Structures are given as C-alpha cells and as structure tokens.
C-alpha cells in the first residue's frame, strides 16, 4: 500500500488532461492530500495549498504522487530532478507513468540511501492468471463507454460511494493508474500482456458472498480501433450483471483519431451487451452517464431527459446531478431478477 497523506505533483503542466491523475486524487481522496507542488510556469491548480517538498513533509505528507501524464509516459529530466528533491526531503514517490521509477538509477539509489519507497502503479503483478470465464458469485457492475476519457472512472467511483452511503457493501475495482492511486489497489489493464486481460479482471473482482457489489472501472471502448481488445477482455473478465454506458455529447471524433466518428449510443450499448453475454447471459443495462461539462445546464438537463426517454433507462451527469436514479433502477432490477441467481 502507498503511504498517505499524499502531496500532488503538477510540475510545469499547462494541460488539464495531463494532470488528470493528480486531479482525480484531489477530487476523490481530497482528505488524504495535503497540498500541491507546481513550478511558477504551471497555470493550473487543484485548489490545494501550494507547498515546497519540505513544507509538505512538515504538513504530514508521506508520498509525492507524480500524477501527470506527458507524451509517451516518459520520466523527463524535470521530473527526475523534482523527484530527487522530494526524496531528499523525505517523501516516498508514486508514479503512473509507463517508464518505471525504479529503472532510473539516480532515483533507485536515492530511495535506497534514504530508506524510502518508489511505487510504479503501472506495473502489473507478474502472476496474473489466464481468464477461465467460470460463473462466480457476487454482483458486478461495469462502466463502458462510447470512447476513451468520457467519465467511466468518475461514474464508477460515484456509484460506489452512493451505494456505500445507502449502507450497501460496495467496492471500487480500479483498472487504470488514477483509479489505482485512488483505491490503493487494482490492475493497470493497459500494461497487462494480451493473454491475461480477462484473467486480470477476474483476479481483482473475485467471487463475493456478502451480498455486496463490485463496481469495476471500464477502459477504452469497443468502438475505439486502438483499444477495443482491452475493452473486450475487460467485459469478459468482469462478467458484469449490470452495465452503465458513459458518453460525452458533442465530441467531434474518437479520442486521438479524427478519422473515426463516435458510435451511435444505441449501437454502442447493444454491442456491449452482446459481448458481455458470453460470460454472463443475464447482463442488463441499468443506466447512462453523460459528461455534460461542455453543455449549458439547460441543454444538459434536456439531453439527459431525451436520452432517458429513448432508452427507458435513467440518464444523469454523475458529477452535477448525482447517480441516485441509476442506483434506484439498479437495485430495482436486482429485486426483480430470478431469485435463484440473484441478479444473474
């Protein structure tokens, strides 16, 4: 486990998408974050106190989280120097970059000399199993999407918290670096070897017998030609009872691919249900989650209402409207499912 409280790194970042890991921690683990580190040329803030490494240590921070993404996921010279200064001040370091902290000799030596730890959360376990698709006990929900970065992690976390607030046992199962840092555990699915995709998901959401739910963070999209293999293995490994479809209206094209339009919502939902049925024939859609941050509140409300009517499912923006309608519907579906198989 990565020691908290955390100190969140922004560095020289000027791209909101580039700091999404630090932002995710500030939003979902805010109580465990003492402050943010940014250079003078960084125009972004998480709204946390700006501190030096020494001030962060005085404020109780145990780990500097390099919660930024840069081109290629590389450890640039800036990052290495800042991480060395943080180690010198007494902080452990955690990173979700592709390039491993421990492969940088200066960081490995400094951490060893100071008795501190380096955490590479994009390093999958070496003993992942191959998936077997055997039916397992417990209830599982998976978020799926029309595209990458449409709010699957946010939706999953909001659903987990809303269930917990009602006294239902619910665990968030992380599949990406930000989610893993928030949850303290999970599998970095994009870094897993291809043969182990579904097995990795089976291993993080094993059979459960306590009546609770696993809320599994989705990745990619069946309609993204770069990453649909990951999404397919995730659907099969998750063996979901319930799907929530995530979407950002008005996105001009698939992320990173100007030559691909987004799929139609109905086609996308049907493709996900069809794929999921291989390992759970009783899977159902229980809601639609929209990221409406680029719409006016009126337009957002109208879009949600129209989508809800068209699909006969609750449709919300989890961040601005909450997820209660989806939780209500999901628990109602569960009650109406055949008793012998619970919601299966």
Query: Where on the chain is the footprint of its own copies (CB under 8 A)?
Result: 130-135, 189-195, 197-199, 222-223, 225-234, 236-237, 256-257, 259-260, 271, 274-275, 278-279
Nearer to its own copies, 228 or 331 (CB): 228
Looking at beta carbons only, is 26 or 69 nearer to its own copies? 69
Q: How far is the CB of 278 from its own copies (least distance, A)?
A: 6
Task: Kindly list the strands in the beta sheet with 118-120, ordered across the sheet, starting from the edge strand earlier in the chain.
Answer: 33-38, 6-11, 63-66, 92-95, 118-120
Q: How far is the CB of 224 from its own copies (least distance, A)?
A: 8
Closer by beta carbon to its own copies, 118 or else 234 = 234
Query: What one-character-per-residue DSSP string does 173-188 give?
Result: E--SHHHHHHHS----
201 is written with which tokens?
């998901």
Handedness of CA 86, 88, 91, 93 (dihedral sign): positive
Q: Rounded to the nearest whole angstrom, what is the least distance from the CB of residue 140 to its own copies in the complex?
A: 15
Local structure of residue 131 (DSSP, 8 states): P
CB of 232 to its own copies, least distance (A): 4
Nearby residues of 40 by Cβ (< 8 Å), 6 or more positions away? none
Q: How far is the CB of 239 from its own copies (least distance, A)?
A: 9
Q: DSSP character for 342?
A: T
On the 0-12 / 13-18 / 19+ scale of CB atoms within 10 A, 289 is: buried
Q: 236 or 284, CB closer to its own copies?
A: 236
| Shortest spacing between CB 86 and its own copies, in angstroms | 28
Q: In whole angstroms, how close is the CB of 187 to its own copies at the nearest point?
A: 11
What is the distance between the alpha carbons of residues 279 and 12, in angstroms, rounded to a whole number?
Answer: 45
CA dihedral 329, 332, 336, 338 (to 10 degrees): 90
Q: Which is nearer to its own copies, 15 or 267 (CB)?
A: 267
Q: Under a CB-based contact definition with an 8 Å cutoff, are residues 38 and 11 in contact?
A: yes
- Indicate the residue among 209 and 259 with the shorter CB distance to its own copies: 259
Residue 318 CB, shortest distance to its own copies, in Å, is 26
* CA distances, 172 to each of 24, 65, 159, 206 (Å): 14, 20, 9, 13
Name the residue nearer to its own copies (CB basis): 56 or 235: 235
> How far, in Å, CA of 262 to CA of 148, rounded?
11
Give the C-alpha separation, 250 to 247, whole Å: 9
Residue among 97, 119, 123 at smallest CA distance from 108:
119
């Amino acid at each position: 486990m990565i020691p908290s409280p955390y100190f969140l790194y922004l560095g020289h970042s000027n791209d909101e998408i580039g700091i999404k890991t630090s932002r995710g921690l500030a939003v979902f683990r805010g109580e465990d974050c003492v402050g943010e580190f940014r250079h003078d040329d960084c125009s972004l803030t998480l709204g946390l106190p700006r501190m030096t490494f020494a001030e962060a240590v005085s404020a109780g921070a145990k780990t500097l989280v390099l919660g930024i993404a840069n081109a290629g996921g590389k450890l640039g010279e800036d990052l290495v120097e800042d991480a060395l200064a943080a180690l010198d001040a007494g902080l452990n370091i955690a990173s979700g970059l592709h390039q491993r902290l421990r492969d940088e000799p200066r960081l490995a030596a400094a951490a060893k000399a100071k008795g501190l730890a380096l955490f590479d959360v994009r390093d999958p376990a070496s003993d992942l199993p191959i998936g077997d698709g055997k039916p397992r006990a417990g209830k599982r929900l998976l978020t799926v999407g029309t595209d990458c970065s449409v709010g699957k992690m946010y939706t999953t976390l909001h659903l987990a918290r809303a269930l917990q607030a009602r006294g239902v046992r619910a665990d968030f199962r992380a599949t990406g670096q930000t989610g893993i840092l928030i949850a303290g555990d999970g599998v970095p699915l994009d870094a897993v070897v291809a043969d182990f995709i579904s097995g990795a998901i089976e291993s993080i959401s094993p059979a459960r017998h306590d009546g609770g739910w696993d809320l599994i963070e989705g990745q990619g999209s069946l309609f993204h030609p770069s990453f649909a293999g990951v999404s397919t293995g995730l659907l099969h490994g998750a063996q979901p009872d319930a799907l929530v479809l995530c979407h950002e209206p008005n996105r001009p094209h698939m992320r990173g691919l100007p030559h691909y339009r987004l799929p139609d919502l109905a086609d996308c939902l049907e493709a996900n249900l069809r794929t999921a049925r291989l390992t759970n024939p009783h899977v159902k859609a229980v809601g639609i989650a929209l990221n409406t941050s680029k719409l006016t509140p009126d337009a957002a409300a109208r879009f949600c209402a129209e989508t809800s009517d068209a699909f006969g499912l609750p449709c919300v923006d989890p961040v601005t409207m909450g997820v209660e309608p989806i939780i209500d519907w999901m628990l109602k579906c569960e009650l109406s499912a055949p008793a012998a198989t619970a919601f299966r």
